[in-house]
Amino acid sequence: MNAKKRYPSRLQAQFLWLLVTLFVTTFVYAQNSNDSIVIDTLASGEPVYNCMKVDQKPEFPEGIPTLCQNHLRIYYKSDQYYDEGIGVRGIVQFVIDKDGNVRKPKILRSLDYFPKFDSLALRSISIMPRWKPGLLNGKAVATNYVVPIKLTQMVPKAKDIASVMECLLDLCNTSSWDNVWIDIEGKKSDSHFLETIDPNNFRYFLVLKNTASVTHFTSDPKYKIVLLITLKKSK
């Protein structure tokens, strides 16, 4: 008799993902490090410093665990692939300028076998809220940054739209659509429109729950969550 598989708890999974993020970031920097502290220049002429060589690294608002659970995790609906562990990962590099804005996002490791993943990964980075910039000699400076973006299946084999919407509410950790800002292919939408979509046309879901990211889309206090949806075929 086969032993039942044991999967990590949500807390354990979050901790593992944080460790993976820190490991990948450090590893990529080590592989691409050089002796120069200035490694690039922005269009404005502002120098971009090596993140590993500044006095204080840039900081995401609400911390790295919040970053991992929001902008660095993309969910997908597909019967062809299935993720039971850490999941597959793309790697993205970007610059945080001296004002904390995200600039020049670039794919370092693509997931070509997942259509549209790269474009959504870049969008996830581009819509980040303002960071606390890195410091060098007491002054804010532009720095480069590298992160992995995890791809996880969270809506498996839901054949009807009601099942998909139920799974999405669970993903958003809410019981009502009233506090969810829905963005489909870059356009504001609502749950009534969701009900008209063929469930086989859904591809990716990005869920943002942290306050700084939600306010990037809306200042209406009733919205606590942003759900970004990418379709196989645009409606």
Range in 45-59, 91-105, 143-157, 200-214 with the lowest mean pLDDT: 143-157
- In this predicted model, which residue has the larger pLDDT, 39 or 157? 39
Question: Nearest CA to 202 among 164, 173, 167, 172?
Answer: 164
Residue at token pair 């062809």: 80
**Average per-residue pLDDT in the chain?**
82
Q: Express each pLDDT in 10-19 by its tens digit.
A: 444 454 445 5
- Convert 115-129 to b/e letters by CB count within 10 Å (16 or more is b): eebbebbbbbbebbb
Specify the pLDDT at position 7.
41
Confidence of residue 223 (pLDDT cuts 50, 70, 90): very high
- In this predicted model, which residue has the larger pLDDT, 183 or 234? 183
Specify the pLDDT at position 196.
94
The HSE-up count of residue 128 (CA atoms within 13 Å, CB side) is: 32
Confidence of residue 189 (pLDDT cuts 50, 70, 90): very high
Spatial distance between the Cα atoms of 111 and 113, rounded to a whole number of angstroms: 6
Question: Nearest CA to 67 among 139, 141, 14, 5?
Answer: 14
Distances (CA, A) of 87 to 14, 45, 84, 235: 12, 38, 7, 29
- In this predicted model, which residue has the larger pLDDT, 165 or 5? 165
16-20, 21-25, 187-191, 199-203 — which one is most confidently predicted on average? Answer: 187-191
Q: Average of pLDDT values for 54-61?
A: 94
Q: Express each pLDDT in 130-150 by its tens digit.
A: 999 999 999 999 999 998 888
**Coil, helix or strand at residue 8:** coil
- In this predicted model, which residue has the larger pLDDT, 133 or 89? 133
% of the chain with per-residue pLDDT over 90: 46
pTM higher than 0.85, yes or no? no
Q: Is 181 exposed, middle or buried (0-12, 13-18, 19+ CB in 10 A)?
A: buried
Q: Average of pLDDT values for 197-221?
A: 91
Residues belonging to the chain: 235
